[in-house]
Each structure stands twice: as C-alpha cells, then as structure tokens.
A and B are shown apart, each in its own frame.
Chain A
C-alpha cells in the first residue's frame, strides 16, 4: 500500500477536476439550463466537450490505478511550465465545477436590462437579418421579429394599426410615464455574456403599470400605434389584453 501523501493524491485531484467539469456540462445540458447560458447552436460543442472530459479523466484514472498496482514501473512525471503551485489549478476547477453543479443559473431580468441600456437606445439586433421574410400575419411576429422589421424599415407609421401578440417581461423604464412599460426580451448571439435587451414600449389603456410587477412575463395582444416618447417617435403596442405567462424554458431569443 502506497503511503498517502499530498503529492500522491495530486493525480487524483486532476482526474476529479476534469471529471467534475464533464459532469457539470452534462448537467447543464440535461436540465435545459444550457439554454440560459449559451446559444443553442453551440450545445453540441458543450456535449462533445463533456464526453471528451469524462473520457480523459477515465483514461487517466485507469492509468493511475494500473501504475499503483505495479510499483517500480512508474512513468516519469512530465514537467511543465507552470503558473500555479501544484494542485491549485485543479482545485480551482474542482471547486467551480461543484459550484456549477449546485447552482441554478438564472435568466437575466429587468435590473440587468436597465443596466445594459434597455431604456437608452433604439434597440437593434446585432445579427443583421440576412433574409427577410415578412410573417404572413403580423400576430405571428415575436418581439425580435418586430425589432428586425423596424431595423429594416424604421418608420413607425408604416406599422400603425397592425395587430400584434408578443411575449416578454416587464421593465419599468424611468423615462416613461406610469401608463407605459417596456416589454423586453434578451437576445444572445453567443452566450449570456453578450445578452442584450430588446424591447417595445407597451401603452396601457386602463390603469397604470403598477398592476404588472417588473419581471412578470406577459403575453400582450393589441395593435401598433406611434407615440412620441422621451422626445422620439416610437412604435408602441397599445394593449388590449395582457395575460401572464410562465417564463419560457428558453427565455432568450436569437
């Protein structure tokens, strides 16, 4: 039986750190939390990486186990230019993987939307529409489709009177009066790090916005009008009906 020392445990720490990240990535995928973190286009990369990491750790575990059964025929440990003291890199990876396993990622909400300037700029989507097909019915367009339409043809009057049915969460903009809130969604091109909010102002016909708490997900039906808000003419959705909906499994749009 080999004497247990910190040094002899180091290889196992590596194995555990790498396996833990494999498991953490698989967990994000299996629980659907991956949607909250990255663009679904890259989901396969995550799954591939998870499988590879598990494979690498399994192979390494097998070799360590084999080497421990045949003392005297050990591989010379390969030296490496290293930045951390031995064990630190792995320990850090292991701790973060465990934190990732325990923690449930959270979709960004109105505070982040305000932080990222939802109230300041005319929202533009970053991925420019490559092909533009008008939905045959304006009610079928989602929030992002509306923003893209505006990006191609910005005159709000062009859309006046069109029916709309869109989903998003409520953001109170400090620049709008009590009659309005911003119906908002986050769009991502790569991962949550670049999530940016897009929004349309919603005009309430009765009551004020206090009836709808910030961050509530709503499906708003109504028609498009043009309003002058904060000194700019803007396409605004005049609400006929507002229906609370559960937060979608995949709250971002693309």
Chain B
C-alpha cells in the first residue's frame, strides 16, 4: 500500500512538473503556425544537401514543436517543395532543437548540465548526417506514401513545364493529376495545414482555430504523458533495485535498455527529460543521453504519425540509421568521456 502511494506521488510529481512545459510547447507551436510563413521560409533554404540538412535541423527553433507537431510540419514542408535533406533534418531534430525543450531539459538536469549539451549536439549531428544521406536519393518519391508522392509529382511537373522541360524529374506517369489545379484534399493534417495557412480568414476565426488546436494537442499529448509517467513511476517503485542497477550500470545494456524504453514510451520531447530524470541515479549518463536523443526521433507514436509521410521501408532506414548513430555516439560517451 505504501509502495502504491509512493508510486502515485511520483507519478503526480512527474505530471505536475511536465504539464506546464507541455502546455507551453502546444501554445507555441500553435502560435508559430500563425506567424511564420513557411513558403517565404522555403525560398531562403540552401540547396546543398549537407547545408540543407543542417539548416533543416536548426529551423526547429522557429517551430518549437515536439515530435507530434513536427510531422505535419515536415509534411507541409515537403509538399511545398522543400529539399529532402531539409525536411528530414527538420523531422529528426526539431523535437529536440527548440527553446522549450532546452529549457525543460535544463530544468530537469540542472545538476548535470553536460547532458543538455550532449543532447543538443548529438541530435544535431545525427539529424544532419541522416538528412545528408537521404539527400543522395535524387528522387525521393519512391520512399513517400503514394498520396504525398503524387503531390510532389504534380509539383515537379508543373515547375518543369514552367522551365521548358529540363528537369530530370519529368519521368512521371501521373500527369492526369494535372487536370485539376490540386489533388483533392483527403488527408486531415493537410486539411488542417490548408486551413491554418489561410491568412485571409478573420483573426477571430484563426484564434478559435488556435484554441481548438491547443485543446486537441493537450488531450492527445496529455494522454501519452499520463501513460509515460505511469510507466516511469511503476518501474521506479516496483522493479527491484538490483535488476535496474544491473541493467543500468553497464555501458552497453544501459544504452540499449534506455533506447528501447524511449521507443516504447513515446513520451513527448518537451517533457521526456523529466522521465529520464527518474533514472538519473541508476543509469549511465550515456544511456540517459541516448534516451533523450533517440526518443524524439523514433518512437511508437512517432512511427504511427510518420506513416502519413513515408513508406515503411523509408521509416525502417530512418530507424536503423538513427538507432546506430545514437548507440555509437552514446557508447563513446560512456566509454571515453564519463
């Protein structure tokens, strides 16, 4: 009974500490959809794959969203013609490289500021490398879901027509889509994008969209946060300490365990540092960093959302690359630095 009480106290403390940050993240991501004009931003992006993926990784600063908010944004970026390295860099880094996540991680790991720096550095490095790797694929459409690929085909065809057919991307058989100005909007997130992007709507209407958006995200992410906090509390209180210490003190198993946990728990990146904090005394620093770097990139919830952009094969590549890089970097951290 006492243990149950402790677990519930722990659970509540995680929630009470995390909810303000979650709310901030949700409000900011909603607000920025109003103020940042993505199309103008796209005109400024570099075409070089390496530079593009680096810049893409950094524009998370403009859209402080966690991994649930960034997928629709990455999708919109792709649809509006952003280079692939930019979109991938953004997709992987935006949940971590943003001011609210900095602040939350800093709050949680005030005692170990190096964790904050490793988290940012590794995320930036991994996202840039993966974005660069995907940049070598000249035609990204085979990796995308058919609906999205056809939007891109239509776009490239239209632009190729415009520049008198010099584009190598013209080899596409889907020209019948060109009969309408734009394929039908069938996808909810695209619909949402279209609705939010309409700057012509009156401000009152847009503010109500913001309100609805806030409520929807709070309820989605709040639900995940509650499940995640419950798992953290139960593990801390009910799993025997010897088991956790045995797993958490070895440089290799600790990283694997935390990466697996990150993938399963799917907790939002604005609040995952509080989750990791509950393992701070028993797990190696490298494994905590692995949790904080890998979780925002790939997790069960995120994979579900990513399926709205990529084919499973592409997600598998993303997963493989991200997991290997995270493992190697944090293992180096465990073995050589801390």
Contact A116 B281 (CB under 8 A): yes
- The digit string for B226-267, where 1 denotes a CB below 8 A from any CB of A, is 110000110011000100000000000000000000000000
The yes or no answer to B283 lying at the interface (CB within 8 A) is: no
Contact A112 B6 (CB under 8 A): yes
Contact B15 A190 (CB under 8 A): no
Shortest distance between the CB of A92 and any CB in chain B (Å): 5
Known contacts A34-B16, A81-B305, A106-B6; A194 and B223 CB within 8 A of each other: no
The yes or no answer to A239 lying at the interface (CB within 8 A) is: no
Contact A78 B213 (CB under 8 A): yes
Interface-side segment among B119-127, B172-180, B214-222: B214-222
Contact A103 B8 (CB under 8 A): yes
* Interface set, chain B 13-50, CB cutoff 8 A to A: 13-17, 19-21, 23, 27
Interface-side segment among A83-91, A155-163, A223-231, A240-248: A83-91
The count of residues in chain A whose C-beta lies closer than 8 Å to any C-beta of chain B is 58
The yes or no answer to A9 lying at the interface (CB within 8 A) is: no
Interface-side segment among B79-87, B144-152, B186-194: B186-194
Known contacts A49-B23, A84-B220, A193-B236; A37 and B16 CB within 8 A of each other: yes
Cα of A59 to Cα of B227 in the assembled complex, Å = 27
Contact A38 B13 (CB under 8 A): yes
- The digit string for A169-196, where 1 denotes a CB below 8 A from any CB of B, is 0000000000000000000011111101
* Chain B residues touching A, range: 35 or more
Shortest distance between the CB of A192 and any CB in chain B (Å): 4
Interface-side segment among A14-22, A135-143, A146-154, A204-212: A14-22
Q: A38: nearest residue on chain B (CB-CB)? A: B17
Cα of A34 to Cα of B13 in the assembled complex, Å = 8
The yes or no answer to B211 lying at the interface (CB within 8 A) is: yes
Binding site for B on A (CB under 8 A): 14, 17-18, 21, 25, 28, 34, 36-38, 42, 45-46, 48-49, 52-53, 56, 59-60, 63, 75, 77-84, 88-90, 92-93, 96, 99-100, 103, 105-106, 108-109, 111-112, 115-117, 126-128, 189-194, 196
